[in-house]
Chains A and B, each alone.
Chain A
């Protein structure tokens, strides 16, 4: 379905754009229907840039992104199938309008022929699909709803379209632990309905909970990726281990991870490509025989 091939993004930065910054370097992975892929990395690692390129909000500098073999072409047809939901739900709503205006905008753009009555039925169904009670959330202003409710309404909005792929960028990081799990379960239900989900997060435990496959990003490059069980059951790259060790756990105190060494592969600067360490598990360097160090 979605395929990224050697995708690179170079931003021009500094006064007059005199310098460049490679935010994403040579990234390749795919997302299949009915699958959650989690994209994991610290802030600044290029996760949102990848999301924006998939959504056609910023062009790729190199490489290609295709959906069912067709290059990303931002526009009405594309957004019928691909939608994004982001970290701060409040920023997606205009505070002077009722929150359900976001649904009306979808109707105007995509379904102008549908009668108001039929549309209301669809909206109610979509709102129930995200496990909200239409009576409690429709007709309210954004400030009268919680972050979790607003976030779920945005997912409901996406569901009104003929959606194939949802980009969920840090959508749980502003939510309470107890609300967070509801939104995660909702994403899991979407995948069971055949959607592909790209779940962007810095929190490995959330990524492991949901995703079939995991991509670990560092300084814009993939350091390790593959089946989630393998990446976390047998993390090979020291950076992945370090991230894992930083996740706060109940019943266990933070442990010290081995420091990331000075190897350019560890720093994520060199691009030696990924080695298949075991079936379905790829890693840049790590203690493999092929490590150039």
Chain B
């Protein structure tokens, strides 16, 4: 088992109180597994990624544990996390491709970044990694503005994995790209796993049809909790949680026309996690809600490797 997260709770401290962004989440990622993490914005996906790397000043580790390759990670201890950060687990943050320093050539930026992490640049390895994602070595002499979105995203992928982390987390890295570039970038990510550059991966996106292309397992989160987790095919073909079903129904597939079949979104929006609703957090948007949903549904394994938190599942 590569990653084991048990009952993880991470809250944001705000003036109005605690935002319960991750509220008791448990899951595992196996060796060589790509876990797709899906859910609308505000469900806690980015918080989960950040928790495994570096908590920002307002995040608090309230409870639960994270084990990577059998070793517990001190996620609440910023200093002790240095040993793990980028070396064992690495993150490609949301919007990182737009955050590249515009005044630095790519090569210089990579060297500086490694230096700040206390590692010397291995130029041969860097070139090998550029080859692996299909970037010409000349990009090192270019400024970010001279690169296309897909190229910048690949630069960030290379930089994030230079220290050979065991686990790579990619947060919405394809959302700003057009479809053919999405395909190329997602393919390059999957190749990282296939070629053993990283052992396992968490691929975060709100787009289930994209996740489906590269993930082995898909985990759907809702309002800081796990809603459903199953092998990718099963999530798509036999979803059990009403939220997963509605997410899937809101996807326009090629060929579906408004005139023939009007698709519907999910009415309402995810709740604020400052005072999350009691019971099932999806209750006020759920077409199947009934009396029992005022109690919180436990996560139940309904089939091998298929867990759902819903009284009706």
Q: Give chain A nearest CB distance to B139 CB in angstroms.
A: 17
Whether B302 is near chain A, meaning CB under 8 Å from some CB there, is: no
- Distance A246 CA – B181 CA, assembled complex (angstroms): 8
Known: A209-B263, A251-B237. A244 touches B254 (CB 8 A): yes
Please determine whether B207 and A248 come into contact, CB atoms closer than 8 angstroms: yes
Please determine whether B258 and A184 come into contact, CB atoms closer than 8 angstroms: yes
Please determine whether B206 and A177 come into contact, CB atoms closer than 8 angstroms: yes
Task: Collect the chain A residues with CB atoms within 8 Å of residue B186's CB.
Answer: 248
- Distance A202 CA – B41 CA, assembled complex (angstroms): 22
Whether B101 is near chain A, meaning CB under 8 Å from some CB there, is: no
Whether B118 is near chain A, meaning CB under 8 Å from some CB there, is: no
Q: Give chain A nearest CB distance to B152 CB in angstroms.
A: 12
Task: Collect the chain B residues with CB atoms within 8 Å of residue A182's CB.
Answer: 265
Known: A181-B264, A184-B258, A248-B210. A205 touches B252 (CB 8 A): yes
Please determine whether B265 and A173 come into contact, CB atoms closer than 8 angstroms: no
- Distance A202 CA – B149 CA, assembled complex (angstroms): 14
- Distance A208 CA – B179 CA, assembled complex (angstroms): 14
Whether A117 is near chain B, meaning CB under 8 Å from some CB there, is: no
Please determine whether A185 and B262 come into contact, CB atoms closer than 8 angstroms: yes
Task: Collect the chain B residues with CB atoms within 8 Å of residue A43's CB.
Answer: 148-149, 177-178, 181
- Distance A176 CA – B252 CA, assembled complex (angstroms): 12
Contact residue among A42, A178, A179, A203 (Cβ-Cβ distance under 8 Å from B246): A178
Contact residue among A178, A228, A242 (Cβ-Cβ distance under 8 Å from B247): A178
CB within 8 Å of A: which of B139-178?
A: 148-149, 175-178
Whether B4 is near chain A, meaning CB under 8 Å from some CB there, is: no
Please determine whether B236 and A251 come into contact, CB atoms closer than 8 angstroms: yes
What sequence of 0s and 1s flags, for each residue 185-219 of chain A, a beta carbon within 8 Å of any chain B beta carbon? 10010000000000000111110111000000000
Please determine whether A181 and B263 come into contact, CB atoms closer than 8 angstroms: yes
Please determine whether A247 and B254 come into contact, CB atoms closer than 8 angstroms: yes
Please determine whether A146 and B263 come into contact, CB atoms closer than 8 angstroms: no
Please determine whether B179 and A250 come into contact, CB atoms closer than 8 angstroms: no
Please determine whether A208 and B207 come into contact, CB atoms closer than 8 angstroms: no
- Distance A50 CA – B186 CA, assembled complex (angstroms): 30
Known: A43-B148, A146-B269, A248-B207. A205 touches B40 (CB 8 A): no
What sequence of 0s and 1s flags, for each residue 110-133 of chain B, a beta carbon within 8 Å of any chain A beta carbon? 000000000000000000000000
Known: A43-B149, A146-B269. A250 touches B255 (CB 8 A): no
Whether B65 is near chain A, meaning CB under 8 Å from some CB there, is: no
- Distance A188 CA – B256 CA, assembled complex (angstroms): 14
Task: Collect the chain B residues with CB atoms within 8 Å of residue A44's CB.
Answer: 148
Please determine whether A178 and B250 come into contact, CB atoms closer than 8 angstroms: yes
What sequence of 0s and 1s flags, for each residue 231-254 of chain A, a beta carbon within 8 Å of any chain B beta carbon? 010000000001110111111011
Whether B71 is near chain A, meaning CB under 8 Å from some CB there, is: no
Task: Collect the chain B residues with CB atoms within 8 Å of residue A254's CB.
Answer: 183, 187, 213
Contact residue among A173, A204, A208, A232 (Cβ-Cβ distance under 8 Å from B176): A173
- Distance A203 CA – B251 CA, assembled complex (angstroms): 12
Contact residue among A174, A202, A209 (Cβ-Cβ distance under 8 Å from B256): A209
Q: Which residue of B lies closest to A183 (CB)?
A: B265
- Distance A266 CA – B64 CA, assembled complex (angstroms): 56
- Distance A244 CA – B257 CA, assembled complex (angstroms): 15
Q: List 8 A-B contacts (CB under 8 A).
A: A177-B251, A203-B178, A208-B257, A248-B182, A248-B186, A249-B212, A251-B236, A253-B213
| Residues of chain A at the chain B interface (Cβ within 8 Å) | 42-44, 146-147, 173-174, 176-182, 184-185, 188, 202-206, 208-210, 228, 232, 242-244, 246-251, 253-254
Closest 5 pairs between A and B when the two form their complex, measured CB to CB:
A202-B178, A182-B265, A246-B180, A209-B252, A246-B179
